[in-house]
Structure 1
């Protein structure tokens, strides 16, 4: 005899099959509210295992909070430059999911997605060698100015189980941390050398985004999921303080 949960998943199976196909083809997909009726966690379990985030919890509330008005951070209303999630992960989560409770009513706050592997292929030969062969020390704090700090030194383009894994952080390459503090942003003496490889990559990624990124404004009740090993993402600034999404990290066996 099937449980209620089993019946729920069975009923949305065709939608999940189509979503998996789209996720494989383009690297991202949006799940309709009907696909989440068995429960967000039950639906996400069809894509991977939910894993803990920087705060040790398996969810993170993406909602503006006081204290982050001047930094590019998930709990601010500011834009966030191109990046992959958890570049300090070994490996990073395979998929990133955002469940939208209330999208910004100002029409902004888009999640922008672009193919990071394709971006690497667009680079000149020197930078292509750099991303594949040169170890880079990635660093991430839970929040701007917080401690402790997680680090990992690996090439930007690596692999996991034979699959490519692309790590990238505009903030890291310009300011030294995935979540830079106000001091790091304001420190004029730390302005990077425009010819340094990491700075060049940050600048080129920003330009690539302007030409190739797909902006997604997730409707209320919908869930956006994408391949974090393949895509880089960013967020546009917004003014509505009530914007609220829940973030999940998913890991797969390979």
Structure 2
């Protein structure tokens, strides 16, 4: 996996960031551009979308009760996924504003091209035809929202890719401890999806890029195109704020 660590290539203008979003699908917004007030800046990329709890931002930092699950408010790694697959459409962009990055060497955000993954694993048409019931609980163990939709759809003629390692393996985007211990309790027993989850791990190792977002900076990526994951970390002070943006 490639590791992105050159802070000098962070974007200092909105135009530069939009160009990288078109080409690479992601960009790092410099601390100077963010200026510790990301909300006004983000309006130039889209409209903020309420998240699972109804709020416009979500604090990504360790919280009690999630020590054993792959969840945003744990320290654990999180497998390949796209954000909010139960939304129609899912948010176009995901933004992580780094309040304080982990000092332990972990906590990288990994990105990989979901459309390229589709092309390498049966072609785009296979993913357009494969319907999946996505289940997303707002937090592990709580009732979840469901939607049945193909893995690859479109919105305004642009492709929209949905993926969730956790769902494919354990039956929920945010699985409970019970589902992790006994995957047979998972609601989704599609073994083809389990194979896709395993293939995504290999794809990330081969083609992914790991980004350790600098303090004060923000990472933005195209959620309709890219999958992302997270490496485990041990620093309890790691803190990022997440935003979801709709297309302009």
Give the TM-score normalised by structure 1: 0.89
Matched, 1:135 2:131: yes
Distance in 2, matches of 1:200 and 1:91, equals: 25
Report deviation, 1:124. 3.0
Q: Which has the larger radius of gyration?
A: 1
| Comparing 180-189 and 17-26, the one that deviates more | 180-189
Matched, 1:241 2:239: no
CA 1:175/1:35 → structure 2, altered by over 3 Å: closer, same or farther?
same
- SS in structure 2 at match of 1:106: coil
Alignment length, in residue pairs? 238
Post-superposition, which runs of at least 4 consecutive aligned residues in structure 1 deviate over 3 A? 188-195
CA 1:91/1:194 → structure 2, altered by over 3 Å: closer, same or farther?
closer
Kept in 2, the 8 Å contact 1:88–1:152? The answer is yes
CA 1:177/1:240 → structure 2, altered by over 3 Å: closer, same or farther?
same
Matched, 1:162 2:157: yes
2:227 to 224, 232, 235: 232
Matched, 1:60 2:58: yes
Report deviation, 1:196. 2.1
- Please list every run of 5 or more consecutive structure 1 residues that lacks an aligned counterpart in the other structure: 1-12
**Alignment correspondent of 1:102:** 100
Render the CA deviation track for 1:178-231: whole Å, top value 9, x for unaligned. 000000011154489998211111111111011111000001000000000000
**Alignment correspondent of 1:37:** 35
Kept in 1, the 8 Å contact 2:171–2:187? The answer is no
Give the TM-score normalised by structure 2: 0.92
* RMSD across aligned positions (CA): 1.9
**Alignment correspondent of 1:209:** 204
Distance in 2, matches of 1:167 and 1:95, equals: 13
- SS in structure 2 at match of 1:215: strand
CA 1:188/1:177 → structure 2, altered by over 3 Å: closer, same or farther?
closer
CA 1:189/1:169 → structure 2, altered by over 3 Å: closer, same or farther?
closer
Distance in 2, matches of 1:69 and 1:156, equals: 30
**Alignment correspondent of 1:173:** 168
Matched, 1:153 2:148: yes
